[in-house]
Amino acid sequence: MAADLVDALRRTDLLGSVPDADLAALAGASRVRGFRRGQVVCVMGDPGDTLIVVASGRVKVAVRSADGGELTLMVVGPGGTLGEVSVADGGPRSADVETVEDSRLIFVPRERVQAICAQVPSAAQALATSVAVTVRRLTEATSDLVFLDLPRRVAKALLSQPRDRAGVIWPHLTQEQLAHHAAGTRQSVNAALRGFERRGWIVVDGRAVTVRQPEMLARFAGG
């Protein structure tokens, strides 16, 4: 079990350069929890006292409005980390985290991560890089919401999803999930998808979406 935890921590960009002995000590101070699909891991405002490492499964990071609207900021899979901003500044969670499939998560105490960063310069640099990436992602998301209409946001959301060699987005997304990525409604996303399909840019078969002409989607989205 301890060896599995060390391996999971080593797979992260943040802790991959940490010496084995320090990783073992970090694993010993951490706790592991299993979550079922759709479970809430934490919500905005919760104490940001741990770094969250995804050992298996996938989780989404989202913000929600008072009337139930949702914007998915990112989906994180195995080897990914969450909570770097709170590790850096000690503030509360800035978004909700929820599993999108059965997941196993590692919770590493914030003070232990800070101590490692003080000892290992490459870990400190990785933390700074991760926070910078988060800021850039939020800046881009804000810009998209202000300057792009819904169909263009849907195009960007499609291009941001992992695809196989045939262009099929996998794992499949429901139109509601895609709406959460694009900050729209299921109905408006459906209309955008139908428009893309008429142009021959995508093929929709149930929940399966195949991107046939990513360059046209990118051009349409302004990228």
The H-assigned helical ranges of the chain are 2-10, 20-29, 84-89, 110-119, 121-147, 150-159, 175-182, 186-199, 214-221
Q: Does residue 62 surpass a pLDDT of 80? A: yes
- Give percent of the chain with pLDDT exceeding 90: 95
CB atoms within 10 A of CB 49: 15
Residue of 171 and 67 predicted with greater confidence: 171
Rg (CA), the chain: 19
Domain with CATH 2.60.120.10 in the chain: 2-145
pLDDT, position 36: 98
Q: Which H or E run includes 181? A: helix 175-182
The amino acid at 81? T
Q: Which band of pLDDT confidence, cut at 50, 70 and 90, is reported for residue 1?
A: low
Token digits for 208? 């399966």
As a whole number, mean pLDDT of residues 194-210 equals: 97
CA dihedral 88, 89, 94, 97 (to 10 degrees): 40
CATH level 3 topology of 2-145: Jelly Rolls (2.60.120)
Facing residues of 109 across strands?
50
- Mean of the per-residue pLDDT values for the chain? 95
Structure tokens at 204: 């929709």
Pairing state between β 81-82 and 70-76: unpaired
DSSP 148: S
Whole-model pTM: value is 0.89
Chain centroid to CA 7: 21
Report how far residue 85's alpha carbon sits from residue 102's, in angstroms, rounded to the nearest whole number.
25
Query: What integer pLDDT is reported at residue 101 of this predicted model?
Result: 96
| pLDDT of amino acid 10 | 96
The pLDDT confidence band at residue 129, using thresholds 50, 70 and 90, is very high
Q: What is the CATH number that goes with domain 149-221?
A: 1.10.10.10
Q: What pLDDT sits at residue 105?
A: 98
Residues of the chain with CATH 1.10.10.10: 149-221
**How far apart (Å, rounded) are the C-alpha atoms in residues 145 and 16?**
35
The predicted structure's pLDDT at residue 223:
65
CA distance 92 to 53: 17
In whole angstroms, give the CA distance from residue 223 to residue 221. Answer: 6
Amino acid (1-letter code) at residue 169? I
pLDDT tens for residues 145-198?
Answer: 999 999 999 999 999 999 999 999 999 999 999 999 999 999 999 999 999 999
Q: Residue 69 — very low, low, confident or very high, per pLDDT cuts 50/70/90?
A: confident
